[in-house]
């Protein structure tokens, strides 16, 4: 890259980010180390007026100290077209405010701004339901809200995972067997008495070896996955649920899935994608704020953030 870029990151409040593990901070540190100007924007600062999407942007300088990882500089309201790229890294929940932000960012794109991940693509890709586009790679799955359909699925398979379509970090995920005395109340709770659609999937015993996070950056597959291994007595491997992260090379099955999806998702403007794979079966396609950059880099030496900035520089060339 021959010129320095002006990059804006839409992130959660800076003081709440955990620098020792946060992938967005890894991105900002890498960009700053290359001489790019880095700005932080809060989602609630987005505005539209007279055809222009703007936001108050704070200039920041990153530091290596995880306890004080940034110095904040001047702030000013700027149109998003003033930046070479805008990186959307706001964490879920994917609520109406998130959707509103995607609409505003879509207007910014229409006005000439570069936004990654593409706001329309984020909005169109439910992180749970997106797997239905690729059934050849998924475990046996049912999407439904009627208790009769869900109970029949549980009876047929005997051991299933139930989860809401809007959860993250392993929240509200239940393992239910056909003989579970609590299964009706679990179904009632997750479906809000039949008013909310949920996902049921065949339980995969391979979760004991880890829920693998496979990253795709700008259409390129990262050669290492982070296996999030559940703690004793736990079904969920999510790091937020106490799982232990172990980086390891991709298996042939994981590479096949990732290399099949990579060009499709990148063509839609999804620069950073996190696939969740258990036992060679695709379970989720994460596009809002995929993580695990720091853990993979620390354990393998492969700079995921470096690959991200490489691809961002290429996209802005």
Positions annotated as catalytic residues are 128, 163, 213, 228, 236, 276, 284, 286
3-state SS, residue 228: strand
* H or E segment and range at residue 142: strand 141-144
DSSP state of 186: H
Number of Cα atoms under 13 Å in the Cβ half of residue 73? 9
Specify whether the CB–CB gap between 281 and 139 falls below 8 A: yes
* H or E segment and range at residue 86: strand 85-88
Extract long-range pairs of 61-67: CB within 8 Å, 24+ residues apart.
Answer: 61/32, 62/25, 62/28, 62/29, 62/32, 62/33, 62/38, 64/29, 66/19, 66/20, 67/19
* Parallel/antiparallel/unpaired status of strands 85-88 and 115-116: parallel
Specify whether the CB–CB gap between 253 and 280 falls below 8 A: yes
């Amino acid at each position: 890259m021959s010129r320095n870029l002006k990059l804006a990151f839409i992130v959660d409040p800076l003081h709440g980010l955990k620098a020792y593990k946060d992938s967005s901070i890894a991105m900002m540190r890498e960009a700053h180390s290359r001489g790019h100007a880095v700005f932080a924007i809060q989602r609630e600062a987005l505005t539209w007026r007279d055809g222009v999407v703007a936001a108050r942007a704070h200039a920041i300088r990153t530091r290596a100290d995880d306890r004080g990882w940034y110095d904040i500089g001047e702030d000013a309201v700027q149109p998003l077209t003033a930046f070479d790229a805008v990186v959307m890294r706001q964490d879920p929940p994917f609520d109406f405010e998130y959707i509103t932000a995607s609409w505003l960012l879509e207007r910014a794109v229409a006005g000439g701004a570069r936004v990654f991940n593409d706001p329309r693509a984020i909005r169109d890709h439910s992180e749970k339901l997106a797997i239905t586009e690729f059934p050849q790679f998924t475990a046996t799955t049912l999407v439904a809200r009627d208790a009769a359909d869900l109970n029949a699925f549980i009876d047929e398979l005997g051991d299933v995972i139930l989860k809401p379509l809007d959860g993250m970090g392993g929240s509200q995920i239940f393992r239910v067997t056909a003989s579970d005395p609590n299964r009706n109340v679990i179904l009632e709770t997750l479906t809000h008495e039949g008013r909310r659609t949920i996902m049921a999937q065949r339980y995969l015993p391979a979760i004991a070896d880890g829920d693998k996070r496979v990253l795709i950056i700008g259409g390129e597959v990262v050669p290492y996955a982070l296996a999030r291994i559940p703690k004793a007595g736990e079904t969920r491997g999510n790091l937020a649920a106490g799982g232990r992260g172990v980086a390891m090379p991709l298996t042939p099955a994981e590479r096949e899935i990732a290399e099949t999806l990579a060009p499709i998702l990148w063509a839609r403007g999804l620069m950073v994608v996190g696939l969740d794979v258990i036992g060679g079966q695709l379970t989720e396609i994460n596009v809002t704020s995929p993580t695990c950059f720091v853990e993979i880099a620390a354990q393998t030496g492969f700079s995921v953030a470096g690959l991200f900035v490489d691809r961002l520089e290429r996209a802005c060339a």
